[in-house]
């Protein structure tokens, strides 16, 4: 099915179109959607719990933050070589290679506890294995970011860009809803000890490996790319510099504000699970008439909270994208930035313990956090909208490259503020704390939000 065939029936983007195409079992949509769902499910089940898993393996707060920073490095540098590989061997084999690498990464994480007793300097070989697995597990995500943006830009008229991105985001994030709930179910029979956390998370990783294998096989056997055109003719560093200079002026305030907000989120994102499970220690006890009493450990309840967050995102993403056509993209993006900014301080200040009030407060907070995803379609439309037709992929790739490079040290900084660090100049130790790390993150996020509100520009089609 060609792009022209997809868009010929209507000028308006239909947010439910991905689901209709999937149910119609059109071959190309089925194959790519199935692979996307499988890997997104695996990523969401595992990535949000990695901080807890590393703590259970004996990692410190700084090492957990360093893990987040290495993930930022990979996110920044993988897309360009990913595109070059795709050009070299074709989309089908590139997708297969990326899928195999990601599945191998999940497998390395699964085997990591076997090496917990082997010391490597101040850490254990198990923690080192977690970092090694990260380089593999991120491989599949490196494919097609700029191409996806460019395709949506070409498929819908400018005034419908937010709805067009809502269409793709809705389908992808359905896996983001299912993944955490499945993780919560797998954590349910176990307690909160480090041994229980390790064993339960290994079960989750085993499921991720299975999904990775299935996704890789499906895309390799059934995918039939007639014309691979992603990432053509990359000319090296000179092209990157040229793309940075050619970035539309309208994007610069958005890039500054977005980078500050993402830096703030990066400082604490990997610690969200630790705040719920080890700082607040909030679980959930439910008495159900037909089932009896259900006691969810903090680890299991965290999966439920992620499910609540993504359910709100899915329910609001399409209405908010439609609202952007009336009120403009800028207010919607600013709302998303604000939610990103204030969530850390609200989370770290939430009531602790197993009481029903604490569980309810966290449920409300994570539902509120879901609103940040509602602004993503408008955000993407604001990024790609000012680009010249046919240059959407390059503009998107340049934007994300620069933003992700600046955000790289954020998680390590958050880890230092969380755990403290020695001052070599004075011989004293800076006593960090979780509250300090999350408060600083909120301040940085609010500065970015305010900058965008003051200087950000509206895309003409939505003005």
Condensed to tens digits (0 to 9), the pLDDT of residues 430-452 reads 778 999 999 999 999 999 999 99
Q: Which of 177, 195, 197 is nearest to 186 (CA)?
A: 197
Residues in Cβ contact with 411 at an 8 Å cutoff, skipping those fewer than 6 apart? 65, 66, 67, 68, 69, 71, 72, 266, 267, 269, 270
pLDDT of residue 123: 79
pLDDT of residue 168: 54
Average pLDDT, integer, range 185-205: 93
pLDDT per residue as tens digits for the range 51-77: 999 999 999 999 999 999 999 998 888
**Under 8 Å between Cβ of 36 and 176:** no
**Under 8 Å between Cβ of 265 and 445:** yes
pLDDT per residue as tens digits for the range 302-317: 999 999 999 998 888 7
112 or 161, greater pLDDT: 112
Asked if residue 2 has pLDDT above 50, the reply is no
C-alpha dihedral (383, 39, 105, 377), degrees to nearest 10: 20
CATH code of the domain made up of 17-223+234-462 = 1.20.1250.20
Asked if residue 333 has pLDDT above 80, the reply is yes
Helices and strands per DSSP (H, E), number in the chain:
22, 6
pLDDT per residue as tens digits for the range 270-286: 999 999 999 999 999 87
Distance CA 34, CA 214 (A): 9
Token pair, residue 444, equals: 């940085």
Q: How far is CA 14 from the centre of its chain?
A: 24
The pTM of the whole model exceeds 0.85: no
Name the 3-class secondary structure at 287.
strand
pLDDT of residue 282: 95
Q: Give 128-178 as a DSSP string.
A: HHHHHHHHHHTTGGGSSHHHHHHHHHHHS-GGGHHHHHHHHHHHHHHHHHH
Residue 413 neighbours by CB distance under 10 Å = 20
Task: Please report, for the chain, the start and end positions of each structural domain, with discontinuous segments joined by +.
Answer: 17-223+234-462
Distance CA 374, CA 379 (A): 9
pLDDT of residue 397: 66
Buried b (16+ CB within 10 A) or exposed e, 280-290: bebbbeeeeee
Q: What is the largest CA-CA distance in the chain?
A: 70
Confidence tier at 418 by pLDDT (50, 70, 90): very high
Give me the half-sphere count of Cα atoms (radius 13 Å) on the Cβ side of residue 249.
1
């Amino acid at each position: 099915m060609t792009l022209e065939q997809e868009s010929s029936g209507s000028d308006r983007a239909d947010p439910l179109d991905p689901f209709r195409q999937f149910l119609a079992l059109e071959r190309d949509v089925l194959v790519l959607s199935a692979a996307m769902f499988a890997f997104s499910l695996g990523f969401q089940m595992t990535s949000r719990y990695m901080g807890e898993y590393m703590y259970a393996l004996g990692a410190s707060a700084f090492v957990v933050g360093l893990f987040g920073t290495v993930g930022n490095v990979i996110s920044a540098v993988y897309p360009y070589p990913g595109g070059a590989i795709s050009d070299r061997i074709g989309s089908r084999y590139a997708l297969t290679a990326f899928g195999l690498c990601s599945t191998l990464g999940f497998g390395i994480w699964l085997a990591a506890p076997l090496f917990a007793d082997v010391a490597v300097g101040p850490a254990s070989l198990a923690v080192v294995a977690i970092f090694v697995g990260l380089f593999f597990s991120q491989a599949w995500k490196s494919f097609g970011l700029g191409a996806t943006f460019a395709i949506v830009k070409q498929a819908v008229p400018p005034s419908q860009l937010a709805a067009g991105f809502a269409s793709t985001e809705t389908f992808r994030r359905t896996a983001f809803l299912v993944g955490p709930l499945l993780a919560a179910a797998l954590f349910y029979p176990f307690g909160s000890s480090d041994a229980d956390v390790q064993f339960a998370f290994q079960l989750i990783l085993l499921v991720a490996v299975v999904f990775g294998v299935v996704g890789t096989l499906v895309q390799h056997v059934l995918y039939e790319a007639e014309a691979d055109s992603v990432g053509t003719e990359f000319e090296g560093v000179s092209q990157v510099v040229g793309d940075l200079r050619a970035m539309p002026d309208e994007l610069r305030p958005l890039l500054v504000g977005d980078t500050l907000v993402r830096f703030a989120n990066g400082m604490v994102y990997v610690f969200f699970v630790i705040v719920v499970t080890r700082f607040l220690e909030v679980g959930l006890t439910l008495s159900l008439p037909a089932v009896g009493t259900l006691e969810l450990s903090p680890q299991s309840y965290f999966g439920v909270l992620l499910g609540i967050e993504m359910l709100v995102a899915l329910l609001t993403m399409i209405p908010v994208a439609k609202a952007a056509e009336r009120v403009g993209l800028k207010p919607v993006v600013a709302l998303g930035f604000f939610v990103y900014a204030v969530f850390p301080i609200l989370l770290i200040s939430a009531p602790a313990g197993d009481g029903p009030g604490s569980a309810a407060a966290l449920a409300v907070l994570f539902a509120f956090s879901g609103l940040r995803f509602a602004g993503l379609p408008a955000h993407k439309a604001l990024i790609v909208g000012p680009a010249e037709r046919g240059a959407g992929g390059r503009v998107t790739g340049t934007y994300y490259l620069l933003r992700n490079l600046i955000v790289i040290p954020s998680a390590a900084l958050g880890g230092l503020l969380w755990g403290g660090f020695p001052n070599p100049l004075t011989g004293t130790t800076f006593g960090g704390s979780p509250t300090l790390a999350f408060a600083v993150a909120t301040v940085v996020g609010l500065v970015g939000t305010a900058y965008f509100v003051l200087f950000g520009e509206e895309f003409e089609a939505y003005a």
